[in-house]
Amino acid sequence: MSDALSQRYWSLLDAFWILTGWSVHEQIQEKEVFYSLDRTERLFALQCALEERSLIEQPGPQHYEDLVFVSLINGKKIAFSPTEEKTNSLIRIMEIGHHCSELKKAFELAANSKFCDTWYSLGKPFHWLSQWDRSYILSWAVKSNQDLPLFKTSSFRQLFHPGTIISNFENSNVENEGWSETKPWRVKKVIHEVEFGLQIRELLGEHEKARLAPPTASEALERWREVDTFGIYDVSSKAFRYRLRDGRMSEFVGLSELKLAIKNRVVWLDYESCCNVPKADSETPA
């Protein structure tokens, strides 16, 4: 069984391959340079090739050719087979990949980004590699009436407990405990940090752990003036600078830009308003 099936958070990539009824594994028989990529990275390379419709045209061995697709319904396997079987395998893989893309489009129209646990980058909760609460994804698939063969089989009940629905959102009560001075919130996690995102995340993490309200921009600057923070320099009551990736120093960042950066990393845990999964034909994107 794929490790993804037992995880609380799914990348959208794994989520939609699972919803279409397939668990994706790797089967490396001979180490090559490109095998430095992990299973998720190779599956992402495959999905990109499928969306660009370049799967068949690509010459030579590809990053994803060691992937094996196992049906969650009947255990049947599909792989990038020897030449005589490869065409049929490619056609089936392309069909599944297209279905995944269609599910992702429907999900984007209806999903609430508060349930994105880890954003690929700021502004990209719907990137293939962003991670979402699996109970939310499963509930969306059920409530939006997606016609998925997996849901009609006994395998679905064996893989996912019937209680795995949004009304039983995992640990939501725990996340709400201990807050008295402010509404519950959490730090938005991001896979690819840019600019001074890492320092913002660390500062917000301290406030979240202490069950305090997110700091204001002025409070953040005051903290950085009192405590040396790696990558943050020339801090005053109104601005600061940070070290760029190439080693150069940035221009001064003012209060308004810092305020927006803090706001963009805070997720308010208002479960009463965000636990309702809209229908797939919602006209209001998340």
pLDDT of 169 = 47
Strands 131-133 and 185-187: unpaired
Residue 261 located in a structural domain: yes
Mean pLDDT of the chain, nearest integer: 81
Query: Helices marked H in 57-126 — which ranges?
Result: 83-110
pLDDT of 160 = 73
| Whether the predicted pLDDT of 230 surpasses 60 | yes
Number of domains composing the chain: 2
Residue-wise pLDDT for 170-185, tens only, equals 445 455 566 767 889 9
**Which structural domain, as residue segments, surrounds residue 127?**
3-166
d(CA 229, CA 209): 18
Is residue 107 domain-shared with residue 199, that is, in the same domain?
Answer: no
Is residue 144 domain-shared with residue 246, that is, in the same domain?
Answer: no
pLDDT of 283 = 32
d(CA 205, CA 220): 12
Task: Please list, in sequence order, all residues whose beta carbon lies within 8 angstroms of the beta carbon of residue 12, skipping any fewer than 6 positions away.
Answer: 104, 107, 126, 127, 128, 129, 130, 132
Is residue 119 domain-shared with residue 244, that is, in the same domain?
Answer: no
